[in-house]
A = this chain, B = another copy of it.
Amino acid sequence: MKTPKRTTIYDIAKKLNLNASSVSRALNNSGNVSEVTKKLILKTAKELNYKQNSLASNLRKGHNQTIGVIVPRVNQNFFANVIAGLEEVTYQKGYNLIICQSNESHAREVKCVNTLINQHVSCIIISVSADFEDDTHLRNIQENGIQLIQFDRVDDNLETFKVLNDNKQASEDAVTHLIAQGYQRIALLEGPQNLNIFKERKEGYLSALRKHNYPILPELMKENAWTKELSAAATKKLLNMAHPPDAIFASTSDFSALGVLEVATNMGIKVPAELGICGYSNEAFTEITSPSITTVDQYSVSMGKTIANLYFQEIKSDNKDAIPKIVSIKPKLIIRSSTLRNKDEQRI
């Protein structure tokens, strides 16, 4: 279907016997137009149902009030919330958001980046895919004069603005909490270690153990348990060990924690009495499982807002040599029943 001809500034100009430049100035309120003419132009524009062509405008002005966002999945709670937060701020500033999902595929992520570069977006906000390979595409963004902000899952080696969760600290807090609750053998469910976030969470786990002089037991650390299914499988193995753990920190997600909980329930293991469970992300459901699950809240919506504000306040304002800044948000441990051993029970 062919687009019918839309009203342009030339149509308005012709109708009023004016020059297009005056129309443009009137519409942009950029002076050099008398009040009378301006009113007339505005009125006519409305009458003719004039809509600016942003393509033309942006082409001429050489910039685009659009920000590109690339996330692994838009319907994953954390990312959906970040996007909601981003949108909230960018909308206020009159910016648009172009959303792409990499589907956890590096190849697709590269394509998304290229599209966004072509679109001349003024900034790209990205959380890299799980099979992160290299940063050529990210460097390419910068080489094309487009601002780059990485968040959550980032490439540590590339110097850019970053907004991070303090995964290590949060993780350490979680494990410390488990220790305080008297758990002795704390297992860890890990995510892919090529992603910074999972590496950091593991570090936090190790750090907490060390600080409390707990032994570090490789048999209690399960690699690549980052889906509900993988976690359930790992949990079965853990709980069938001769000397099983008495707590499991599902550092990858609440879905993993849910997998743990289901396996434990099926095996007749009491949570939190016999097994403590801690998840990560504070998904809505963690509050309503029985028992409710202790987890880490990442303030995802406000993270989105922080990212957007970072762009508008620090980066956009042509601080030519603004030094890439790293903002770290401290997530919050949400303590719930799944790790709260009744103190009395403990004494038995």
Q: Point out which of A1, A4, A98, A118 has the most chain B C-beta atoms below 10 A from its C-beta.
A: A1
Encode contact with B along A111-134: 1 for CB under 8 Å, 0 otherwise.
000110111100000000000000
* Contact in complex: A84, B74 (CB < 8 Å): yes
CB atoms of A59 and B62 under 8 A apart: no
- Residue A52 lies at the interface, judged by CB distance under 8 Å to chain B: yes
Q: Mark A4-36, 1 if CB is under 8 A from B, else 0.
A: 101000000000000000000000000000000
DSSP majority for the A interface?
mixed
User: Do A63 and B284 form a contact, CB below 8 Å, given A73-B84, A75-B84?
Assistant: no
* Pairwise interchain contact B301-A6, C-beta atoms closer than 8 A: no
**Is A87 a contact of B74 with CB atoms below 8 Å?**
yes
Chain A interface, number of residues (Cβ within 8 angstroms): 60
CB distance from A335 to the nearest CB of B (A): 20
Q: Do the beta carbons of B285 and A51 come within 8 Å of each other?
A: no
Instruction: State which residues 56-90 of A face B: CB under 8 Å.
Output: 56, 58-59, 62-64, 66, 73-75, 77, 80-81, 83-84, 87
1/0 per residue, CB under 8 A from B, across A127-143: the answer is 00000000000001001
CB distance from A222 to the nearest CB of B (A): 22
- A55 near B119 (CB under 8 angstroms)? yes
* Given the contacts A51-B114, A59-B53, A118-B51, A96 and B100 also touching, CB distance less than 8 Å: yes
A53 and B318 CA atoms in complex are apart in Å by: 23
**A147 to B118, alpha carbons, bound, how many Å?**
24
A147 contacts across to B, CB distance below 8 A: 1
Contacts A143-B49, A285-B285, A301-B75 given: A120-B84 contact, CB under 8 Å? no
Q: Does A144 contact B (CB under 8 A)?
A: yes
Interface status of A209 (Cβ within 8 A of chain B):
no
Nearest CB of B to A282, in Å: 13
Q: Chain B residues near A52: list those with CB within 8 A.
A: 118
